[in-house]
Amino acid sequence: MKTIKLLLLTLFLSTGSNILFGDDDETKIFNSMPSSPTVKPKKTSKVLVYSHASGFKHSSIPTGVKALRVMAQKTKAFDPTFTVKTDEFTKRGLAKYDQIIFNNCTHVQKAFSENAQRTAILNFIREGKSFVGFHSASDGGIPQWPEYTEMIGGCFAGHPWNAGGMWPFFIEDPTHPINAAFKNSEFKFSDEIYQYKNYDRSKLRILIGLDAVKSGKKGNSKTNDYPVSWIRSYGKGRIFYSNFGHNKATWWTPFMLQHFMDGIQWALGDLNGPSKPVTQKKI
């Protein structure tokens, strides 16, 4: 059964087939997607989207694939190549791309077990390219690949705020262009939200945070610091990560799609905005 599912996903990624989606999902995604990019791309950026889970497999992985495909087709913000294989993750293979996106990929340390692959990925970013991760892209790295955890900014350490809850969030950086989709300083949304280990705020610029006090749940942070979306500089490259994306509905929510696209464009260098870390705004 697992082999059949992998073959179906591979077919969808390579052909754009609608085999994994009903009309309702496709229509919701298309109708919710911005019709144009926030800023005109400086060039046609080539993006490699990797969508294979080596640990827990989120049912929203194909939804994310579809959303990113529609985003590229409808807005022309980037030119994607979709894969569930690791073949392209070499220095030579990555040379043709401007950005890597990890779409809900758990336990990447298992998928990229060779030092040459790991070095190729990290050097790709350090030398001036970019990386974007959604949801469980942070569920990986330590202890086998601590450099990955350090790069992305933290590692999954549980989700006290489960996928069925409606949780309170606040905009930590209201003037940053990646947050332009959010019209209010606080909002509620239903998705699965992580707490982290090996997280260091001093290396990241937090864009959105979870208000743990209002949520009524306690996590592992003594200062109630639970970042949800963030960016950072990494060598000469740029990184955007968002914890949103566990629930399928996230991928057809208009303001989330706008936030995701702006994060992708920021990482590519099309959208300007600072990456310098800022102090915690709320406790």
Does residue 273 lie within any of the structural domains?
no
pLDDT at 4: 40
With respect to residue 87, please indicate whether it lies within any of the assigned structural domains: yes
Site of tokens 């911005």: 34
Q: Is residue 283 part of a domain?
A: no
pLDDT at 188: 98
Q: What region does 20 belong to: left with phi over 0, alpha with psi -120 to 50, or beta?
A: alpha
**CATH number, domain containing residue 232:** 3.40.50.880
pLDDT tens-place string over residues 229-265: 999 999 999 999 999 999 999 999 999 999 999 999 9
φ/ψ of 181, rounded to 5, equals -70, -20
Is position 275 within any domain? Answer: no
Q: Could you give the C-alpha distances from 232 to 42, 248, 254, 282, in angstroms and in order? A: 21, 26, 24, 20
Rounded to an integer, what distance in angstroms lies between the CA atom of residue 2 and that of residue 75?
34
How many domains, in total, are found in the chain? 1
- Cα–Cα distance between 89 and 66 in angstroms, integer? 22
Rg (CA), the chain: 17
Where in the sequence is the domain holding 214, given as residue range(s)?
Answer: 2-268
Asked if the structure places residue 281 within a domain, the reply is no
Which DSSP category does 79 fall into? E
| Structural domain contains residue 123 | yes
**Taking the CB of residue 119, how many other CB atoms lie within 10 A of it?**
15
The pLDDT score that the predictor gives to residue 21 is: 44
Burial 32-65 (b: 16+ CB within 10 A, else e): bbbeebbeebeeebebbbbbbbbbeebebbbbbb
Please list the ranges in the chain whose pLDDT falls under 50: 1-21
Confirm whether 207 is domain-assigned. Answer: yes
- The confidence score (pLDDT) of residue 26 equals 83
